[in-house]
Amino acid sequence: MTRQAKWGLGLACFLGGTFAQAAVAQRNPGFNEDMFVGQAPTVAATAMLERALALAGTGSWERIAVGRAWYLGGDKVRGERILNEVTTNPRIESSDWFRVGRIYAETGEWSKAEAAFDRALKMKARDDSGMIEYGALANVHKDRAKAELLFVKALTKNPREFWHWVNAGGSYLGVRPQ
């Protein structure tokens, strides 16, 4: 084997090992129980949610989940920053907008929730399950006219879906869809 071939093989092995190590590090982001065991709740939450965000990579649902934890946990600024990163991505999907809308609905920020749901349905106008969910939440938030408009559209498209009837019916009793 020539000297250049040996050098090339050595470089290839080095690069392969580096990539393998990076892949393992991605799966095991440095677990250490001291980062949360016995720590103040905010210290433990920060350590764990930072690791979760690192593991999320570019996954929108995963990033939304971390943003939700911060937002509902009381750090709305940090949560909103993560949600904005997802919603300003040009590859955002209808399901991402629905997840963000659910967070705002859960916190009682109905105008923000409506905007997210409207964007989701604009992207996927024939989503009867989305229409029912949005309608049920609108009904729970006292917007019966919007709710019934969405119920009519969804049930016209898919009148045999059991969960549509349960979620729409329950909303008249103040029950959020599940």
Q: What is the pTM of this model?
A: 0.79
Domain boundaries, the chain: 1-27, 31-92, 110-178
* pLDDT score for 5: 54
Cα 85 from Cα 108, distance rounded (Å)? 22
pLDDT at 160: 97
Of the candidates 100, 63, 69, the one whose C-alpha atom is nearest the C-alpha of residue 82 is 63
What's the rounded Cα separation, in Å, for the pair 93 and 89? 9
- Which of 125, 121, 127, 140 lies closest to 178, judged by CA? 140
Q: In one letter, which amino acid is 71?
A: Y
Q: How far is CA 107 from CA 26, 103, 112, 178, in A?
A: 32, 6, 10, 16
Q: pLDDT tens digits for the chain (178 residues)? A: 676 655 555 545 454 554 545 454 455 557 788 788 888 889 999 999 999 999 999 999 999 999 999 999 999 999 999 999 999 999 999 999 999 999 999 999 999 999 999 999 999 999 999 999 999 999 999 999 999 999 999 999 999 999 999 999 999 999 999 8
- CA dihedral (151, 130, 157, 125) in degrees, to 10, reads 110
